[in-house]
Structure 1
Amino acid sequence: MRLTLEEVASGLDQPVAITHAGDGSGELYIVERTGRILVMSSDGTIAPDPLLDVSDRVDTQGERGLHYVAFHPDFASNGRFFVHYSSPDTVSYIVEYRREGEGTVARESGRTVLRLEKTYWNHNGGWLGFGPDGYLYIALGDGGGDTPGDPFGNGQKRSELFGSILRVDVDGGDPYAIPPDNPYAEQGDGNARAEIWAYGLRNPWRASFDRATGDLWIGDVGQDTSEEVDVIPAGEAGLNFGWSDVEGFDCHNRPDCDPTRYVAPLVTYGTDEQGCAVTGGYVYRGSAYPLLTGGYLFSDYCSGTIWGFDAQATMDAGEADLQRVGDTDLFIVSFGEDEAGELFVVDLGGTIQRITAAAR
């Protein structure tokens, strides 16, 4: 199986994500790391006015910037959407905005949902999205450090939000409520944060829900040895993916650890061998290319290689039959999906590419 790509937009300022609002409009939204969210019509035309411009509130040094946007399931009627960005003072923000009418949303109108103070500029995570259950899921990195290896041990601290996938109800409280079936919703479980759905992650930059099954697929950027693709099967809570006790299948910060205590990745590949930073992708559920149906596609930022594997067969077997399906010279920083399930590739160098063919 080989993929080909077709450029649909160029001249963008460090694009990092593309997504849809689920409102039937056919529009796609392009996130620029420098602070804008652009609106692209189904014919590829980009509107002159962005949906949002928070360029004066973000810092693009290191791994900081505007990371992602997620649209409320009822965006068509309520106009609500949520962004994740990093400020110059190393604070990570989740902010809600509301679109009313046409034109650019006033940045002053935002409501802060989560403010997370960090000591360092790196390992912010980045992705957020609504699950099939209507709750907002937020991917956060371990908080980084000036030395490698999770110096604060945040990956295994359930008392911290770092290194976790959070799950919150943005319709049930101010700024949010805790879903009652979150694994640590009952405060009797020590000092674990009730927002946590899963933990033990280093830097989950990109993730996505399989629209057919509800499984959550995560690309977790590695440290020294292993890039990972992890999965949270639909409805499974409290999974511990092991960082920073383990990296991939091997002990990391704890030489005497037992790797079998943690949820193993479905895919690993060597850092500096096949790339340097995994870019999580999507399970293909579109209709244009039946050969791709049920296949999970992902990439690496440094190599530009696109790999694929059968998602369900991999979950059943616990390991992937990994296929190299595309070679590019792009800095692939994200994948995106339109409302019909067709897939796009985001190139930090300034372009959006549509996956246009799949042939053996």
Structure 2
Amino acid sequence: MAKSTLRLTAELLVAVEDSLKLAERPNSIISLQDIEEAGTRWASRRAVPPILHPSLSKQRFIRQAVRWLAFMERLQPAYAPAKPHEEKLIEFADFMLRERGLSPATIALRCQTVCQFLDQLCDGGRSLNDVTISEIDSKLAARVNEGHYVRASVQTHASSLRSFFRFAETHGWCKEGIAASIMAPRVFQQESLPSSPSWSEVQKLLGSMEENTPSAIRDRAILMVLAVYGVRAGEVARLQLGDIHWEDESIFFTRSKRLGKHNFPLVQSIGDSIIRYLREVRPTSPHREVFLTVRAPFRPMTAGTLWPVVARRLRAIATSIKHHGPHALRHACATRLINEGLSLKEVGDHLGHRSLETTRIYAKVDLVRLRQVASFDLGGLQ
């Protein structure tokens, strides 16, 4: 970490020691309640000049105290009572993995969605057998209204709930008929257009990132990988140092859904961008992931942390599109390949799609072939 950060941390730890009077009780275990009370007292002190709002000062105090005392093995563990549906979710996840063959990302998303609803439906120790379809409908409607979800998102939530309750019915955990009663809005296949910047906007985006700051050097390499190879954010986050074969000029990505390796030729401009990042920016780290955070503590980036990296820079260039995350660059890559004359099968293979149906949405942006269809001479037929 930077020296200034270390100095602030050290000053805060001195305040923790003084507020909790750790020297007077060297062998005692400190509870979270003691830390919160000490944080309240410390945050309400008169600091000259005032630096942070008292609530933010309290949060900093508690965070540093918990980390330090846990390191010193003097923090009283907080035993959270196990939720009654946790074991059922574990069985459900195992079923989706072993019987359905779903990807870990899909399983995690479904379990997260179901857990959020069960936390509300089974509040107060209620059993799944007490849950009614009217309660599920009301909770689903409330979640939709709060989140302003589109129909596709509502259908995803309803599908996850329906899958879980169908599994629960087979095990006798809930009343029969609940799964079949969970309704969702109808979503038509290929009803929307892929939202993406044009390839000229992508080139403008990459050309605008000529700063020499560490974050700009790293972000340019990330954006080039996303735009040229059309890979998902999670696939970029999982990219390992050993996945780049410099001698063979190839790069391998671990697919999120197929769970296999996908080999691409290493484009020279991307290789140069990654080399610059590795030499000038990436810190020495035991982590094998290529892309790490630029601020200490240095750790691998995730799909979630990649989203703001892309959105922040893409919003400044492509103001007309709806979505500015990493998937927008995946759509831009597919659209470029379509416009260059590649078939849907070739585009699907490049993107790692299992089915041609998934790639068919890009037929709507194939303007060259659409113009040929529109100009087809019907020979006077009505």
TM class, shorter-length: under 0.3
Q: Which structure is higher in strand share?
A: 1
Q: Which has the higher contact order (CA 8 A, sep 6+)?
A: 1
